[in-house]
Structure 1
Amino acid sequence: MTTTNHFLRKLFISGLMLALSVSGFSQSSAEIDDNFQFAKQHQDDIKLSVYITAHSVERLLSTPEGRREATSLMMANGITKVYLEVYRGGLLVAPELLAEITTYFTQNGFEVVGGIATVPGGDIGVKQEGELGWFNWQNPKTQQDMKKVMLDAAPIFDTFIVDDFLCTGDISLESKVAKGDRSWSDYRRQLMTELASSIFIDPAKSVNPDIHMIIKYPQWYDRFHMFGYDVETGPKLFDEVWVGTETRGQYTQRFGFVQPYEGFVNYSWIKSMAGKKIGGAWFDHGDCDALDFVEQAYQSVLAGANELVIFNYGSFVNGHAGHHLLRMDFEKLARLAKTLKTSPIHGIAGYKPPHSDAGGDLYIMDFVGMFGIPLMPTAYYPENAATIFLPTQAAADPNIVGKVVASHKQGKRIIMTAGFLAKVDDKGKLSKLAGIPKPEVGVISAEKIILDGSETTLERQLDLEAPLEVKKAIALLEVKSGHGTIPFLTKSKDGQVYVLNSHTFSEADFKAVGEVLLCPRPLGLLDLPTSWANEIRAVFNEQLQIELNAPTRITMQPLENGDLILHNYNKEEVELQLSGLENSGLLDAFTGQKLDTASGTLKMKPRSRLWLENNH
């Protein structure tokens, strides 16, 4: 009986194994088609990574159970690369634990990178005197402690990233003495440039000569120079540059009223300096609903990022609604990233020199992009561009007047802000080209605009930079205020020079609400009626030969192959008209569906996007 049962059991098992083999489920069959394998297959186009903070490393990865959970979570989300943080806020992870976890993840098919968040805590370093919780980098203890961390951690990793906090706002007596006669900006940039080498790069390479060192910049690009970030020298020192695209929620105050287009602006601007050293983009879950979260991924990819680092692993343990959307859209993002390698976004050049003060134009490029203007920021004067946008930041270029005059002679279109014209030392040359007297900054808040010849009250007041006067220019858009009728947009008589009399934020606006880094309040600029949005958009986009009739909070980003990415960031459905839509046979390449454009109108659902691909 025992022999018979043994024979039957062997026969059953053999039959089962044969059936599994035939059906493709044997151990020797092809790998399972899951998110992890799919991500591996597409990692040359786009790669998803996760950053694990020091506290999560100790709390969640120090046991076999925690590591198995991490492996399952990351594989399920298509994450193929892990960043292990060695230090944050006084917590220093033991090198032995880091080495053990690195080996585990490597054996399970993940790439592993080291990372550090240089923020004070415990008895490590000295906290700065100032508004934010950063280090006093002038203090020898901070320098010695951070150098030791790097010497201990560098042998473990092939690649290492320095997170957001390689900056300082310290105003202690110690730093004041070291600053001397220099400006805070000059002193801090010079200090942090020196320490980037002496505390991070040189010690790391002394114990691990082949280590690949990365610097990650945050997203608050218009404030970098104030707190020690030197975006010109950083890419020269480090092996690679990562960029923060963490725009989060545009309607909420917690992390500033940041516009989604800012991720594209920040990455593109830094890329203009980093060149081939540009690497991935980095965003997080902070203040994000599901749509905010995945929208960060799209603008990162559109800017050219081929790796998306998600901060942080703890949010995957706790769960976030955006993870589902990212899993569902991974294939679309990979396909988009692949297309952009050969057909990147092109558009309108916006000039922001490195280390440039913004005056009343803080983060203006983000808002211009939200008008459906494909603004492409650059750190160097775009002399070959057909249209050139010059906000206040451009006045930091000591040779800007000669460059603008030369561009004007070449027939280029110049769009200046009133803030730029007020700040630039032009001896009246550029004001003459614009056809208006040189303005003096004096912020005006208008509650009414002139619309179709009549006064119309706005939902939210519109801020203007100066009480412009029109002499030899034409006023295209005007507001009504206590100062009378003030032009908001002017055109020179030769049709080449335009002045945009906008005001976003100034240092005074930041201080009024205690903000240091991010947009302090919502603006009426994005509540302008569609006719005004169309007028502003046409001035920027005319030479692109793309005519868009749409409200604000629509982004439009053309690819060099003629495709077009549209994104509706509004909370409601919108209708838009686009030149050449009638019977155009357009496809939405994201879905493969043919679009109904017979009437020349497209409908876009709230918080949605389209990839317009010509099917001819």
Structure 2
Amino acid sequence: MRRAFQALACAALFGLPLTAALAPQPAQAKPAAPAHHYENFRVAIYIAVNSTRQLADKATFDREFERAMRQTHFNKVYLEVYRNHVFATDEEITRIKAWFEEKGVQVSGGITLAAGGEGGQFGTFDYEKPADREECAKAARLAGKHFDEVILDDFFFYASKSDADIAAKGGRSWTQYRLETMRGVARDLVLKPAKEANPKVRMVIKYPNWYEHFQGAGYDLEQESQDFDAIYTGTETRDPVVTDQLLQQYESYEIYRYYSNIRPKDAKGGIGNGGGWVDDNSTLYADRYAEQLWDTLFAKAPEITLFNWRPMSEAKAVQPGNRQAWADLPTTFRWQDMVAGYKAGAPRDGQDPRPGWGRLAGYALETVDKDLGKLGQPIGIASYKPYQSSGEDFLHNYLGTIGIPIELSPKFPVNADVALLTQAAAHDPRIVEEIKGNLVAGKTVFITSGLLSALQGKGIEDILEVRDTGHKVAIHDFLNGYGAGNGESLNDPAHDNPAVLFPEIHFYTNDSWPILRGVANAKGFPILLMNRYSKGILYVLTMPENPGDLYNLPQGLVTEVKKYLQRDFPVRLDSPDHVSLFAYDNGTFVVESFRDQPVTVTLSLLGQGVHLRNLSTDQAVASAAVDAKAADRWKRDGVPARTDFAATVQPHSYQVFKIEK
């Protein structure tokens, strides 16, 4: 009985199936446990098949394991058995798996269903070709044979347009053809052969970071995510300026939250969304790699996977990169401390190569592990992205990078006090009726100008007669205030922001009210438009034509938008762009700066008489003096009172706070 209890506890710790934990085990020597486990998450390293084959040499295994474990204390590896037409052998897999288990490391399998590529483009299988279908099934069968858990790396999409594909597609769109084809491939060529080889195997599909475009390549977040036993999240955002995807830093957090709402833990204890996955590609400075790890874990991922074994174990020193601007500041990631704390191994070829990518990861993870236990469950502004939808690409991540916390879901936020709907919501044929439902219930709904445009002629006129004219206007000046009074400039007198291109939104005066507006050559244009419907309020938020221009808007304008969008939110952030807010249901929150210089921000907390503690320094934060004019406005407009605090955040750093009553 005691042994069964211990087995269950071990299963819970490492995410093992309970059936595997309770199965009779042969007598064997007790494996040596890794030297250290992180308290709030597990760490895994993915081993690509070429490294798998090299590790079959015992001397190579011992040398690389020692360096990898000395730098990052990992609990688990994913041992890949197939990629790009390369298979590991049964003997190699068995041997390496045993060696890791002797070290106390859990071993799961991995497969990458990719077929090479050319000219920098990724190659996928052609699933109309019998040979490719058989190779796919063979890879799944091999992995299932050796492991009780197998993860698919993120190449399980379909980009081929061969003559066979063209003929099979027929009159369907490429999106429909690929979605339907890949659903069948998942069931028949991956899940079926793997489970025939091992009925206990748990198959996990890792979804990558380009979720706005999935459906066009056959990635299905709706059905396929439920067919597999669990999902996993690619949280790598890399550099947001020079990489071709231009993914914003906030996505490392937001995408894990979105996928967790697609596949939450089930009532039977299923893992749902198993973790986040980060690589070292396109990392221009050390802190950017650490930020991706931190933001994945701020989203409450239970496991982080480091891709891949080679940089984590190779005898090569990592470089700090282009971080001279903040090298001497007290940042959260301290390069000098990481180097000074590095424990050298036995010299090889005359000298130790100094800290590698593994130590960079280990230092970043040890840093954030001290803070994660203080945080509750993430909260944010309810937003909606239906399955197979796209529009205003990755806008939620731009909003998160200007300090608006987002909780993205594939389900419409029925009766959410505040809902934010972007153009992607137009994919839902019932969206207008759902908006009405929230408004009739007395709730607040924000829609972007992109969604307004997409819904023209589709019933939105029954709520408000506002339309996108199709004209564009460059706006430099922004004002607050509406009605018969004067406006207050929202421009920053110390910083001349560039003109930003907006769509022109037409409305009827006194039917709708431009709460915030732009002015260009003596003509006004609504930036935030208010319209009352039934017992609720509908706002139209006019977005720049280029979402990246959110970073060029005056801070005063962005802060005013937040005041309406986060009217009753526990904490609100008044800051420049590239400062993010992560909020939690236990009164804690994290402020993280992706900027290259220190920044002072204002933290606006809901209520009067509240107190704030900086958990990163364990110091109480002094509140600002109450603005009498603002207090009068609270009473007049029925706006909840708030208390403001100031804080300074170092470059590429975060601080943790707690609201105290």
**Common fold, TM-score beyond 0.5?**
yes
Instruction: State the 1:216 CA deviation.
Output: 0.2
Whether 1:219 and 2:209 are equivalent positions in the alignment is yes
Give the Cα separation in 2 of the matches to 1:547 and 1:148: 53
After TM superposition, the structure 1 = structure 2 runs for residues 25-64 of structure 1, keeping only pairs within 5 Å, are: 36-39=34-37, 42=39, 45-59=40-54, 61-64=55-58
> What is residue 527 of structure 2 aligned with on the other side?
488
Aligned to 1:330: 365
Hey, what does 2:259 align to over in structure 1?
Answer: 270
- Is the 2:234–2:276 contact (alpha carbons within 8 Å) kept by the matching residues of 1? yes
2:67 matched to 1:67?
A: no
SS class of match (1:56): helix
Tell me: CA distance 1:253–1:272, structure 2 relative to 1, closer, same or farther (3 Å).
same
Q: Which residue of 2 aligns with 1:301?
A: 297
Q: Whole-Å Cα distance in 2 between the matches of residues 149 and 109 of structure 1? A: 26
1:203 & 1:79 partners in 2: Cα distance? 30
Evaluate the alpha carbon distance shift between residue 551 and residue 236 of structure 1 in structure 2; reply closer, same or farther with a 3 A threshold: same
1:179 is aligned with what amino acid?
K
- Report the CA distance shift for 1:603/1:490 in structure 2 as closer, same or farther (over 3 A): same
1:66, 1:272 → 2: CA distance? 41
Bigger share in helix = 1
Query: Pairwise mapping of residues 173-322 of structure 1 onto structure 2 (< 5 A)?
Result: 173-250=163-240, 252-276=241-265, 277-288=272-283, 289-316=285-312, 317=314, 318-320=316-318, 321=320
Q: Which amino acid is 1:612 matched to?
A: F
Structure 1 residues 475 and 163, CA gap change in structure 2 (3 angstroms): same
- Distance in 1 separating the partners of 2:371 and 2:403: 19
Q: Secondary structure at the match of 1:543?
A: coil
Partner deviation per Cα, 1:345-394 (whole Å, 9 max, x = no partner): 11210111000131xx1111101112221110010011031011111110
Residue 337 to residue 306, structure 1, CA distance change in 2 (3 Å): farther
* Aligned residue in 1 for 2:585: 560
User: Which residue of structure 2 lines up, in the alignment, with residue 476 of structure 1?
Assistant: 515
Mapping 1:95-106, distance limit 5 Å: 95-106=90-101
Output the amino acid matched with 2:257.
S
Structure 1 SS opposite 2:290:
helix
Query: Mind listing any 5+ residue stretches in structure 2 that lack a counterpart?
Result: 1-30, 266-271, 321-356, 480-487, 626-644
The residue number in structure 2 matching 1:532 is: 557
User: Among residues 387, 392, 406, which one is paired with 1:354 in the alignment?
Assistant: 387
Deviation at 1:53, TM superposition (A): 1.0
Q: Report deviation, 1:241.
A: 0.6
CA contact (8 A) 1:575 1:601 kept: yes
Contact 1:74 1:80 survives alignment (8 Å): no
Does residue 449 of structure 1 match 2:477? yes
Alignment equivalent of 1:439, drawn from 468, 477, 482: 468
Q: Within 5 Å, which residues of 2 pair with 1:130-209? A: 132-209=122-199
Q: 1-side partners of 2:205 and 2:585: how far apart?
A: 30
Contact in 2 for aligned 1:129/1:136 (Cα 8 Å): no
Q: 1:190 & 1:75 partners in 2: Cα distance?
A: 43
Structure 1 residues 585, 448: closer, same or farther in 2, change over 3 A? closer
Per the TM alignment, residue 588 of structure 1 is displaced from its structure 2 partner at its CA by 3.0
CA distance in 1, matches of 2:254, 2:175: 22
Deviates more, 1:529-538 or 1:599-608: 599-608
User: Are the aligned partners of 1:419 and 1:441 in contact in 2 as well (CA < 8 Å)?
Assistant: no
SS in 2 for 1:489: strand
Task: Identify if the C-alpha distance between structure 1 residues 228 and 441 changes in structure 2 by more than 3 Å, giving closer, same or farther.
Answer: farther
| Larger mean Cα displacement after TM superposition, 346-355 or 73-82 | 73-82
CA contact (8 A) 2:516 2:526 kept: yes
What is the CA deviation profile of residues 389-417 of structure 1, one whole-angstrom value per residue up to 9, with x for unaligned ones? 11111011111111111111111111101
- Matched residues in 1 for 2:208 and 2:307: separation? 12
| Letter matched to residue 420 of structure 1 | L
Tell me how far 1:458 sits from its aligned partner: 6.0
Aligned to 2:482: none
Contact 2:421 2:447 in 1 (8 A): yes
SS in 1 for 2:597: coil
Q: CA deviation at 1:319?
A: 4.3
The percentage of counterpart residues that share the same residue type is 26
Q: Contact between 1:345 and 1:558, CA under 8 Å: does it hold in 2?
A: yes
Distance 1:407 1:232, change over 3 A: same
Q: 2:648 aligned with 1:607, yes or no?
A: no
1:461: how far off? 5.1
> 1: CA distance between counterparts of 2:85 and 2:544?
41
Normalising to structure 2: TM-score of the pair? 0.77
Alignment partners' CA distance in 2, 1:455 and 1:529: 5
Distance 1:104 1:310 in 2: 20
* Separation (CA, whole Å) in 2 of partners of 1:149 and 1:110: 23
Provide the C-alpha distance between the structure 1 equivalents of 2:43 and 2:92, rounded to a whole number of angstroms.
24
Indicate which of 589, 605, 609 corresponds to 2:615: 589
| Secondary structure at 1:266 match in 2 | helix
- The one-character-per-residue Cα deviations of 1:119-175 (angstroms, maximum 9, x if unpaired) are 114xxxxx7999643222222221111111222332111211111011012222221
Secondary structure of the residue aligned to 1:105 is helix
Q: Could you tell me whether the CA contact under 8 Å between 1:348 and 1:375 is conserved in 2?
A: yes
* Conserved? CA contact 2:497–2:554, under 8 Å: no
Q: 1: distance between equivalents of 2:473 and 2:210?
A: 25
Q: 1:539 to 1:323 in 2, by over 3 A?
A: farther
User: Contact (CA 8 Å) 1:98, 1:156: kept in 2 or not?
Assistant: yes
Deviation at 1:258, TM superposition (A): 1.4
- In structure 2, relative to structure 1, the CA distance for the partners of 1:301 and 1:454 (3 Å cut) is closer
**How far apart are the structure 1 equivalents of 2:527 and 2:125?**
43
- Give 1:266 shift: 1.5
Question: When the two structures are aligned, how many residues end up with a matched partner?
Answer: 550
The answer to whether the 8 A contact 2:574-2:602 is kept is: yes
1:477 is displaced (CA, Å) by 3.5
Give the distance between the partners of 1:373 and 1:454, measured in 2 at CA. Answer: 18
Q: Look up the SS of the partner of 2:97 in the other structure.
A: helix
Give the drift of 1:303. Answer: 1.8
8 Å contact from structure 1 (residues 463, 502) kept in 2: no
Distance 1:396 1:570, change over 3 A: same
Could you say which residue in structure 1 is the equivalent of 2:500? 462
Q: CA contact under 8 A between 2:491 and 2:556: conserved in structure 1?
A: no
- Which amino acid in 1 is paired with 2:414? E
Contact 2:598–2:648 (8 Å) recurs in 1:
yes
Equivalents in 1 of 2:620, 2:58: separation in Å?
50
> What's the CA shift for 1:325?
5.0
In 2, Cα distance between the equivalents of 1:559 and 1:609? 15
Partner deviation per Cα, 1:192-217 (whole Å, 9 max, x = no partner): 11111111111011111111110000
2:421 aligned with 1:390:
yes
* 1:116 aligned partner, one-letter code: I
Q: Classify 1:594/1:313 alpha carbon distance in 2 versus 1 (closer, same or farther; 3 Å).
A: farther
- Asked whether the 8 Å contact 1:462–1:523 carries over to 2, the reply is no
Tell me the CA shift for residue 612 of structure 1: 0.2
Matched-pair contact (CA < 8 Å) for 1:459–1:524: no
Counterpart in 2 of 1:7?
none
Q: Is the 2:456–2:467 Cα contact (8 Å) retained in structure 1?
A: no
Change (3 A) 1:279 1:455: closer
Does the alignment pair 1:111 with 2:142?
A: no
* Contact 1:370/1:554 (8 A) holds in 2: yes
